[in-house]
Amino acid sequence: MDFISILSIFVMACFVGYYVVWSVTPALHTPLMAVTNAISSVIIVGALVAGAAHGDAARAAASSWLGLCAITLASINIFGGFAVTARMLAMYKSKKKG
């Protein structure tokens, strides 16, 4: 993919983000932050690429260890972020009638 295609995706996604986030009800802004935090850990994709790279040379080996550390950090976020969001969302209850 060339730079312009990627930039186009990015710009379009910014607009999608703008409209989607304004439609989020203010009552759910804390779960919104928790879940955006979880999904921004999609950076784990980069960490996996680094961690999975073969390397005998010192630089490649160091890169792979950095990747593994980043995988752990991002996983804390992914599991913690989704779990805490689920925990919060489970608490929101509607008025029970009757």
Residue 98 binds to another protein (criterion: CB under 8 A): no
Dist CA 35 CA 30 (whole Å): 9
As measured in angstroms, the least distance from the Cβ of 98 to another protein is 13
Dist CA 14 CA 2 (whole Å): 19
Cα-flanking dihedrals φ and ψ of residue 76, to 5°?
-55, -45
Token digits for 56?
A: 């005998």
Dist CA 79 CA 62 (whole Å): 26
As measured in angstroms, the least distance from the Cβ of 97 to another protein is 10
Count of residues that interact with another protein, criterion CB under 8 A: 83
- Write each residue from 31 to 70 as x if it is in contact with another protein (CB under 8 A), else as -, in one continuous string: xxxxxxxxxxxxxxxxxxxxxxxxx---xx-xxx-xxxxx
Cβ contacts of residue 26 below 8 Å, gap of 6+?
none
As measured in angstroms, the least distance from the Cβ of 25 to another protein is 6
Residue 4 binds to another protein (criterion: CB under 8 A): no
